[in-house]
Structures are given as structure tokens and as C-alpha cells.
A and B are shown apart, each in its own frame.
Chain A
Amino acid sequence: MEFLDNLGRTFFDVEAMAEVLPHLLQTGLVNTLVLSISATIIGVVVGMVLAVLGISPVRWVRAPARIYTDIFRGLPEILTILLIGQGFYWLSQDLFGPSPYPLGIIALSLISSAYIGEIFRSGIQSVEKGQMEACRALGMSYGRAMALVVVPQGVRRVLPALVNQFISIVKASSLVYFLGLMVGERELFRVGQDAAVLTGNLSPLVLAGIFYLIITVPLTHLVNFIDQRFRTGRRKPTGPTSGLKEVTELEDKKAVGTAS
């Protein structure tokens, strides 16, 4: 019994949770979402550029994309965040003022774009060669065929992987606290952590964790639904058909043609 009481007091102290809840909602959640969503948007844009460069038939176009990807996928997130966040502070100060927040977003974007670039690349490369060939045979340029036909198909296929990446970014965004955020800039983890230190109780952190789950879990399920929908689309219900009718289709058309 004592064990359970201890457990309840340490992790699920309702009063401690209630106290930190408004702060978690108004500051932590908002900042976590701002950091993650901006890093994802920038990551998608840069990632798409990386993917298209990465599949170029020209080697010197592929190489920079490859190197970029290798670096930011290979480094620990915390290391990239610290190097960018502290290393470019002098530059950021002129541009954005004293807050390390923008640099945090940039660091997260560098990391996410490397991963997203690989996700896009695998999607684009999974599109059958015949699609590009059909486009070229119709007189489309390589770039146009990519933009109109190949890339959209590739992106659809990797939608679930993209959401997984967003989830990774949500979690990685907690590392930005290393840069020393001002009170109003603190994200879920830091808000929970502060409260936990102040009250000597882990419950605020547990609540922060619940918030993370509230963001991430529904997303995973949503994406499966979306994926299903994108893959199959709205289908036109057709009754049973007979291949034997196909020759008549041509003739019916003729009959209509002559009648009109």
C-alpha cells in the first residue's frame, strides 16, 4: 500500500499537475508546436530540394546533397543544436535579437531536412520508371515530368514516414532547452522540468509527457487513415464487367458516331 501511495505521490500528484497545467498549455504546448511545425515546414522545403538534387543523374549535383544529408543525419541531435545555437549566436543576435529561439528552429530544420530529404528520395525513387518514360515520350522535359507526375506520386507514398518524422521533431524540440530559453519561450519539457524541480515532485513532468502523447499518438492513427485514403482514393463503384464486351465498346462508339 505504501508503495502505491509513494508511486501516486511521485508521479500522479493531482495538485502539482493542476498547478502547472495552465503554464503547460499556454506556454509549453504552444512553443513545442511552434518549434516543431516551423522545423517541419522548413524541413519539407529543404528536404524536397535535397531529394531532387539527390536523384540527379549529374554527380556534382548529387554530391552536395549527399554530404549535407550524411552530416545532419549522422550527428547526434543535441550536438547539432548546441553547435548551431551557440556557434551562430553572434549572427542571430544581429538578425533576430538575443533570443536563441530562431537558432533552435534552424538547428531542428537542419536535422529534419536531412531525414525528410531521404524520405522524399526513397518515395520518388519508388515510382515506376515507366512513369518518367511515359512523360518523356509525350515530350515533357525531365523537370516537368518530375514536378507533374513523379514527385506527387512519390510524396503520397511516403506520407506516413513524413508524419513519423514530424513526431521525431516534436520530441527533438525538447532539446532546444539546452540553449537557455527565456521563460516565455519554454516548451513542454522545460516547463514540466521547471515545475518538477520547484515542487520536488515528478508529476509535472508526467503531465508534460501526457501532452507529448496527445500530440503524437492521434497523429500516427490519423496518418494510417489518410494513407489508406490516398492509396485507394475515392473509388468509382463498378458492377461486374466482362472483358468480352471490350470489342463491342469500339463498335458501340461507331454506331453512335454514324447515328448522330
Chain B
Amino acid sequence: MSTIDNKTTTAADEVVYEGSSLELEGVTLAYGDVEVVRNVSLKVAPGTTTCVIGPSGSGKSTLLRGINRLHEPKSGDVRVAGRSVLKDKPDELRRRIGMVFQHFNLFPDHTALENVALAPWKVKGQSKAQARQVAEDRLREVGLGERMDHRPRDLSGGQQQRVAIARALAMHPEVMLFDEATSALDPELVKGVLRLMADLCQRGMTMVVVTHEMGFARKVADQVVFMDEGEVVEAGTPDDIFDNPQSDRLRTFLSEVL
């Protein structure tokens, strides 16, 4: 598909992102005494995309939430741009890390524009006009320049998810996390969102993508991580993972989903 060979056609006026590196070292996440993610280590180079795949309940989403500390890691270390962030204030860390959810979680009583402008205005302290400008730019970037005044319920699922992506981008994050961003979408709407994600990847954003879209993982990812039962079972390039799986668990998983 054209998602990849688009690199050369990137318009000159498009934003280029400077993603930071992300490292997890021995991260363990628990609900009470139950460890749902155990001892995960991961390196994501700046401007690259890592896809996390695995069966439901394998701890993929929890791992993602550990990165921006929506779920506080029990042990281990998280480093953004080479520096540990576990001692920072969580709110400050989260301003540097964008997150996109399966169910969009847009603010239903705000327009698309207000959804995107809210955080730059109220969290970053930009002026209302500045925040509005940022929001307009981001919405145009995700192809919704014509829909800025629509409320979420007047948008399709795919458009809503793109607003959610614009909302995260408006904070100028160094890393973007996608938690099954296309799982709640109708089949024909998935492509538009994946396309946008591939776009961000090419423009230098560092991304960690939890996904069930194997096609996307294969084409876009620089690194694919397979998790099962809270552990990283295998990690490698898409070719390694999809064409040359080492473990039985990964082979079984791939035979189920491909």
C-alpha cells in the first residue's frame, strides 16, 4: 500500500516531529499483588515506531499506561530522552507523552476545535488565541479542517479518533502512545486512522503502538514486540517476528490472527 512510499511526497509545510528516545528497564506493573506486566525492558529509538502485539490480557495496554504513569510502575525504570522520569511529577511527564485511546475519550460537549485547544490553553498556559491556532493547525494536519466546529457525535469514529490524535499532538509530545486506536472502528474507517499514524511515524514521531492490525505492524513498525502473560516473549524487526518466529507462543498467536 501507499502508506510507506509516501515519504517522498511529504509536503514541505508539514510539521516534522522530533521524537525522543524511550527506554523501559525491568518495568513491573501490578494490580495489588497481581503482577500483570513483569520485568519488561524495551528500547525505542528516537523517531521510530514500536508495535506491541499479543493476545488479550497479555498486559499490552497496562504496559502502555505504565509509560505515562497512568498506572504507576511497581519497579523498574522509564527513561525519556535518556533521563529517568519516575521522579518527575506525573502531570509534567504526561505533557511530554501523548496518548490515544481505543474509545477516543473525546470531550462530548466540546467541538473538535475545543477538544484540541483545551490542553494547550489550560495546561500549557497558552493564550486562547494561540491555543486555537495550534488546534486549527493540528486538525488540518489530520484532515479535519472542514470539521472543526463539529461535536464528537457528529463525526464518524475514524474522524473522532483523528481528533483525539490531533488533541494529543497539540501538546507537542515527544512520544505518542496508541492503545488499540483502531479496535473500536468500523472496518472502512480503520484505514484513515492507520494512514495518519504511519504519517506521524515518517515525520519523526516516536511511537509505541498497541495494535491488532498485523498489516500495520508489519509495514510501519521498526520494531515489533510480542507480549504474552505479562512478559515480552519476543522482540525484533517485523521480518523477524512475522517471518521467523522463534517461540511456540508467538507461532500459535500468529497462526490465530493471520
Contacts and interface: CB of A to CB of B under 8 A. Distances in A.
Interface string B194-234: 01100100000000000000000000000000000000000
B158 A149 contact: no
Given A137-B68, A138-B118, A250-B143, 16 more contacts: A130-B101, A130-B105, A133-B105, A139-B92, A148-B122, A233-B109, A243-B158, A249-B192, A250-B142, A250-B192, A250-B196, A254-B9, A257-B13, A257-B14, A258-B12, A260-B13
B255 to A, nearest CB: 30
Interface of A: 128, 130-131, 133-134, 136-141, 144, 148-149, 152-153, 156, 233, 235-236, 238, 241, 243-244, 246-247, 249-254, 256-258, 260
Interface stretch (B18-26, B28-36, B149-157, B236-244): B149-157
A156 B110 CA distance: 13
B168 interface: yes
Contact of B191 (A131, A141, A246): A246
A246 B171 contact: no
Contact of A233 (B92, B97, B151): B151
B144 interface: yes
Interface in B83-98: 90-95, 97-98
B11 A257 contact: yes
B34 to A, nearest CB: 20
Contact of B103 (A130, A140, A249): A130
B123 A138 contact: yes
Interface string B152-174: 00101011000010011001000
A153 B110 CA distance: 10
B2 to A, nearest CB: 9
Nearest to A243: B188
A246 B189 contact: yes
A200 to B, nearest CB: 57
Contact of A241 (B103, B156, B168): B156
Contacts, number: 114
Interface residues of B, number: 52
13 contacts: A130-B101, A134-B105, A134-B164, A134-B167, A139-B94, A139-B95, A148-B118, A153-B107, A156-B109, A233-B151, A243-B156, A243-B186, A254-B9
Most buried by B among A136, A249, A251: A249
B167 A138 contact: yes
Contacts of B143: 246, 249-253
A152 B189 contact: no
A230 to B, nearest CB: 9
A137 B192 contact: no
B140 interface: yes
A247 B122 contact: no
B70 interface: yes
B192 A153 contact: no
Contacts of A130: 101, 103, 105
Contact of A138 (B94, B145, B189, B195): B94
A138 B131 CA distance: 14
Contact of B149 (A133, A137, A153, A236): A236
A136 B192 CA distance: 26
A142 to B, nearest CB: 9
Contacts of B168: 137-138
Nearest to A253: B143
B15 to A, nearest CB: 11
Contacts of B154: 235-236, 238
A138 B103 contact: no
A253 B158 CA distance: 16
Contact of A139 (B141, B164, B171): B171
B95 A138 contact: yes
Given A233-B151, A246-B156, A253-B140, A140 B119 contact: yes
